[in-house]
Amino acid sequence: MDSTGVVVEYNPFHNGHDYHFRQARKLSGADVVIAVMSGNFLQRGEPAIVSKWARAEMALNAGVDLVVELPYAFAVQHADIFARGAIGILGELRCQSFCFGSESGEIKDFEASLNLVKMHKAAYNMQVQTLLKTGMSYPQAMAESFSNLDPRGTYVDLSKPNNILGFQYLQANHNLLHPMAPLTISRKNANYHDKSLSSESIASATAIRKALFEGTLDFAKTKAYLPSFSTTGLIEYEKSFGLLHSWEKYWSYLQYQLLTLEPNELNSIYELEEGIEFRLKRAAEESESFEAFMNKVKTKRYTWTRIQRMCVHILTHSKKKEVVERSRAPEYIRLLGMNQKGREYLNKVKKELSLPLVSRLAAISPELTRLDVKSSLVYAHVLSEPARQRLLKMEYAQPPLFR
């Protein structure tokens, strides 16, 4: 059985994701599609709108064959570390290929770009570091350094968010002992950061969440952009757990941490550096909402995404040393769900795996999963009882979903 991998967040699963998943199967010709999916907190430093279990169920309902979790130490990260974890897990699961969406849509452009950077690695890295010191954000520094290597503009545009991720996927794949075949498709209709529901059937997850959280929760506004099982999943989650997750739900807890922790304690948190803790504390004293806080804190150097990731790490008290240790390479593979084809594939490859295959947390060292457990405790904390305990019980006792 051949397999292809996709790196996903499904926040929530929408029509664009359905297109990507089906194209991945078509382009690769694979029998099995494996999704490595972020847990309860995501790459841009946001709480997922519904839990990883609800999103894994959406994936299985769409026809994804196997869903595994991208651990916290990789999920809430810069693109290079995010890619290292996701591609490492797909490689460990013996995928023959992986497929990602991009603004470019041409895999040859990514391969040419990777070769260019490999040829000028030292100069490229030096330029990135020099530009970062001027106050430029990492994505901007990366894009400008690359354009300096390629003034003709004949390679992939690394100012685009999905192109950046795709480029990092190829770099991570290049470092594997047995690299996979990379595939890419063009994103349809909506861009990653689009905030409006502009197309008839495809919108970005950002636009979908924005529509849901504007005013009274109204699932009719987003129905056209989601498969019916996703709309049903969102409705059932809100009914069962009492809310859909957003940053504003966590603001009071974040504000409490920022007001009560000493600057030296904040400075020990992953990603906090250069005295940013003082700016965060001042903004927390003056802000009545998370959005107001973010607007006070963000700068050209400290982007919205970078600040959000810091805030997640503050909520979870994720210390620098521990995150660095846990993000060097994947240390286990946690199963979230599968169908019959996915089960057959696992039975075929599990003896070849060098990492533990985890169905329940109790089966693995607590040291390895400590960051994931803390993030799940924080994620559930905004729920009322008994919904909170029900979601936490799933973290410890829920076996992989089966469809």
Nearest-angstrom CA–CA distance, 60 and 75: 20
* Phi and psi angles of residue 158, each rounded to the nearest 5 degrees, phi first: -90, 15
> Is there a binding annotation on residue 193?
no
Question: What is the residue type of 4?
Answer: T
Q: 10 Å Cβ neighbour count for 296?
A: 14
Residues sharing a CB contact under 8 Å with residue 75, sequence separation 6 or more, in sequence order? 38, 39, 41, 42, 43, 82, 85
Q: Distance of alpha carbon 279 from its chain centroid, rounded? A: 26
> Is there a binding annotation on residue 72?
no
> Is there a binding annotation on residue 264?
no
> Are 317 and 40 a contacting pair, CB within 8 Å?
no
> Is there a binding annotation on residue 138?
no
Tokens describing residue 249: 């739900």
> Are 37 and 52 a contacting pair, CB within 8 Å?
yes
> Is there a binding annotation on residue 125?
no
Torsional sign, CA 187, 307, 56, 15: negative
Tokens describing residue 314: 């503050």
> Is there a binding annotation on residue 18?
yes
SS3 state at 140: helix
Strands (E), 125-227: 181-186
> Is there a binding annotation on residue 10?
yes
Measure the CA angle with vertex 353, ends 352 and 356; round to 5°. 145
> Is there a binding annotation on residue 7?
yes
146 — alpha (psi -120 to 50), left (phi > 0) or beta? alpha
Q: Which of 174, 231, 164, 217 is nearest to 15 (CA)?
A: 231
> Is there a binding annotation on residue 47?
no
> Is there a binding annotation on residue 178?
no
> Is there a binding annotation on residue 16?
yes
Nearest-angstrom CA–CA distance, 50 and 212: 13
> Is there a binding annotation on residue 11?
yes
> Is there a binding annotation on residue 71?
no
Instruction: DSSP for 243-260, please give it.
Output: ----HHHHHHHHHHHHHH
Q: Which of 311, 312, 252 is nearest to 287 (CA)?
A: 252
DSSP state of 219: G
> Is there a binding annotation on residue 282?
no
Tokens describing residue 268: 């020990």
Q: Which of 76, 72, 74, 71 is nearest to 84 (CA)?
A: 74
> Is there a binding annotation on residue 120?
no
DSSP state of 41: B
Binding residues for ATP: 7-20, 101, 162, 187
Binding residues: 7-20, 101, 162, 187
